[in-house]
Amino acid sequence: MAAEVKNKPGLLVVGDEVFEGKLFGAVHEEPKKNIALGEVVFNTCMTGYQEILTDPSYAGQMVCFTTSHIGNTGANSEDMESQKIFAHGAIVSHYNVKPSNFRSEFTLDHFMKEQGRMGIHSVDTRALTLYLRDRGVTPGFMIPESERDQISELKKELVRQDYANTDWILKVTTREPYLVKAKKDARYQIVAYDYGIKGQLLRELSDRGCDVRVVPADFPAEKVLEMKPQGVFLSNGPGDPSLATYAVKNVKHLLGKVPLFGVCMGHQVLSMALGAQTYKLKFGHRGGNQPVKNLVTSRVEISSHNHGYAVDALTLPAIASVSHTNLNDECVEGISVPSLKAFSIQYHPESSPGPHDSSYLFDNFLNSLS
């Protein structure tokens, strides 16, 4: 399916910098609708832009793709990590109007129009990435070039919609529990907390014979235990983990009562439930080529990441040990608490840049179930 890209001149304002480009996606005729705001981050993945845009962990953020060409493979109905685009905007260097891939069903431009999301292309993404590496992730917005005189007012609006002080988990979590059935004979009954869960995580559990009952992020731990699950999965999600006090409270209640496995936000929530603290990384880890060392096996995994916060190793209690570290900056990538049958990792084992370096973690979780 072909879709017209209007190539309307646009501006991306990030901090004190203004980047010129051309708008695509949901570009409206009404000026007031032609605004996208969010924390600007960069992702170094060479592929998978559709999965990135539909990952709920990007809620409230505009993603700068560092790879040169975006749109080459189009988009399709299968490669969705959720029901919609959660990223607030896409920032690309060269946008390919005509995708060439046998799985393509529609163009990225068409997809973003349907989803009501705006993007900007022909941006100097190398300069933007260097800016973010130097200054750290920064709030920004994109608008038509014709609205340049509104920049000062929009900067005030950006302050009012502060990403860092918003609990994004409660904005993306499911409102009601739902069941994902095992793809084969159900051997395990799992409860998964939805902090912004990716579809592939559920598929990995379902493929391994799990019936997964997905519950809202603030679902009471007492009700989880009433379901008598064999294990509880703590999912990925967006925003500052320190705002998710309800999640930490629930996990504290579950510790020692049922095996726990946390991924990304779930890793941070589990760590805080144990008494640890988190901190914000300067520009985060977002990409598919992060080297992580398993300290138990000494093997290095090529892993997929999407997080802006990390666990402070010095604040972990004695019962928890660091199981994985990042070889780029030595931040904590995994913890293990054998006495409580709990462990977690900061990266995404369901993604496959390795391609299957980290899939053993799902098997480890199932092996821990009673």
b/e 270-286 (16+ beta carbons within 10 angstroms → b): bbbbbebebeebebbbb
Task: State yes or no: is 305 an active-site residue.
Answer: no
Q: Are 39 and 59 in contact (CB under 8 A)?
A: no
Q: Are 216 and 173 in contact (CB under 8 A)?
A: yes
b/e 19-58 (16+ beta carbons within 10 angstroms → b): bebbbbbbbeeeeeebbbbbbbbbbbbeebbbbbbbbbbb
Of 285, 305, 324, 348, which one is the catalytic site residue? Answer: 348
Closest CA to 95 of 81, 74, 126, 111: 74
Task: State yes or no: is 264 an active-site residue.
Answer: yes
Task: State yes or no: is 331 an active-site residue.
Answer: no
Of 81, 204, 333, 350, which one is the catalytic site residue? Answer: 350
Of 264, 305, 324, 333, which one is the catalytic site residue? Answer: 264
Distance CA 176, CA 172 (A): 12
Which residues, at least 6 apart from 247, have a Cβ–Cβ distance to it below 8 Å? 169, 193, 195, 217, 218, 234, 241, 269
Question: Residue 166 is encoded by which pair of tokens?
Answer: 């918003």
Distance CA 286, CA 325 (A): 16
Question: Residue 227 is encoded by which pair of tokens?
Answer: 């379901």
Active site residues: 264, 348, 350
